[in-house]
Amino acid sequence: MKEYLIGKRSRSVSEQSLPRETYLPFLFNRGGDPVSTGFRGIFNGKLLVLMSWGFILFTSILNAHCSSGGQSKPKSPDHVTPVYDARTLPAEDNSIGWFKAGTPDNINGVALVIHGLNLRPCKMESIITLLTDSGIDVLNLSLRGHGRNYSYEVNVDSSEARIEAFKTVSYKLWMDETYRAYYRAKKRSDEKKVSLFFVGFSLGGLIGADLFASHPDVCFDKMVLLAPALDIHTIHYVAKFLSPFPGLVIPSLMSKSYLANNGTPMAAYNALFETIKHFNQHIGSKLNVPTIIFIDPQDELVSYRKLKRKVEKETLDQWQFRLLEKGTTGVQEKMHHLIIDEPSVGTDTWNQMKIIMIEHLLPSSIVFPKGKQ
């Protein structure tokens, strides 16, 4: 598989013929092979990851023993989930939110969007805005334990109620939620006679791909997967040692501004591991629809090499890799796995990701106003 740089010349991305595997500009060190540079970074970071997991496991067990288990005092209503404008369609429950296309009389498609593990669903807003501005209706799914998808109780703080719901999740629960969301999105795409797309980040990408692979009645016309957790670094399976303790909360290392909860319970990790296992049992040619995969080779969670081998083994020749790294300006987050908006990847890289996404989903309508490029 050949590797190319894009955007080094003055012509736009839309004017170029993009190969299956492409590198975004401003991505890698100016000298040396970009992929091997990324892999060296992963290799050098393995000891740090192992030490971090050891520390996390130790502190989690300590916190579990020291926890008082007392209830928090009632607090003001949670305001993590933003109030969206009139373009938001009424949601039927707390797991979904509809967002109207910017051109309601001329809808170009419908997209199901799913967030990552312990990520605030509202942080998918940059992607949702990109889609709706391009004439795509969006169903944004909040998996149990995220956003407002938890059981409300009198005199129980929303953050406490959310983490308690997070401790009860399972593969089946999340898959059932995704299945129901799919059929709502499909119903709308059928009504409007337009294509049905899937956009998922990390865990979301994994769950959507597993749903597609394992359910004969599920089909997406095109997909965009951002750092999909289809194959994670082996070192992360050390967490399985704590699988008998689903209520044990592991502190999260991601920036707090992106976190749905302060930590991730083992129940959620157990569901993640089970989803990966289930996906590996059902992956096949059914998934071979036009798909873009954005991934940083230095991703701390997802293994690019393992994922690439899996795609080649299954002959998913319609899946295209777009390898990226943090940009040069506007980057606020250091985590390589986090690649969902401008603050997480930088202005230059995000602008090109937007063009590639829309050109992939709607190849004949790649038009961006000057202020949005």
The pair of structure tokens assigned to 69 is 């288990």
- The domain segmentation of the chain, as residue ranges, is 36-64+84-365
Whether the CB-CB separation of 183 and 139 falls below 8 Å is answered with no
- Predicted pLDDT at 252: 87
Give the contacts of 83 (CB within 8 A, at least 6 positions apart).
Answer: none
Rounded to an integer, what distance in angstroms lies between the CA atom of residue 298 and that of residue 50?
Answer: 16
Homologous superfamily of the 36-64+84-365 domain (CATH): Alpha/Beta hydrolase fold, catalytic domain (3.40.50.1820)
**Residue type at 131?**
L
What pLDDT sits at residue 366? 54
Say what the pLDDT of residue 164 is.
96
What letter represents residue 324's amino acid? Answer: L
How many Cα atoms sit within 13 Å of 187 on the Cβ side?
Answer: 8
Q: What pLDDT is attached to residue 295? A: 97
What is the identity of the amino acid at 294?
Answer: F
pLDDT of 365: 62
Could you read off the pLDDT of 157-166 as tens digits, one per residue? Answer: 999 999 999 9
The pLDDT tens digits along the chain (373 residues) read 333 333 333 334 443 444 455 555 434 333 333 333 344 444 455 555 555 555 555 555 555 544 444 443 333 333 333 333 434 444 457 899 999 999 888 899 999 999 999 999 999 999 999 999 999 999 999 999 999 999 988 888 999 999 999 999 999 999 999 999 999 999 999 999 999 999 999 999 999 999 999 999 999 999 999 999 999 999 999 999 999 999 999 998 888 999 999 999 999 999 999 999 999 999 999 999 999 999 999 999 999 999 999 999 999 999 999 999 888 888 999 999 999 999 999 999 999 999 999 999 998 765 554 444 4
Beta bridge partners of residue 269, listed in sequence order: none
Contact 272, 239 (CB under 8 A): no
Which DSSP letter does residue 240 get?
G
Residues in a beta bridge with 140: 97, 113
Nearest to 310 by CA among 192, 226, 191, 228: 228
Q: pLDDT at position 179, please? A: 97
State how far the Cα of 356 lies from the Cα of 224, in Å rounded to an integer.
10
Could you identify the residue written with the tokens 């954005």? 294
- Is beta strand 21-23 parallel, antiparallel or unpaired with respect to 96-99? unpaired
Residue linked to tokens 């990520």: 119
Q: What are phi and psi of 250, to 5 degrees?
A: -95, 125
- The pLDDT of residue 24 is 55
Q: Which pLDDT value is given to residue 293?
A: 98
Which pLDDT belongs to residue 165?
97
Q: Of 264, 236, 270, 243, give the one whose Cα is nearest residue 252.
A: 264
The residue to which tokens 């949601």 are assigned: 91
For residue 47, give both structure tokens: 């000891």
Per-residue confidence (pLDDT) for residue 325, from 0 to 100: 82
Distance CA 202, CA 215 (A): 20
pLDDT at 4: 34
Q: What is the dihedral of CA 222, 219, 287, 146, to 10 degrees?
A: 80
* Cα separation, 366 vs 344, whole angstroms: 23
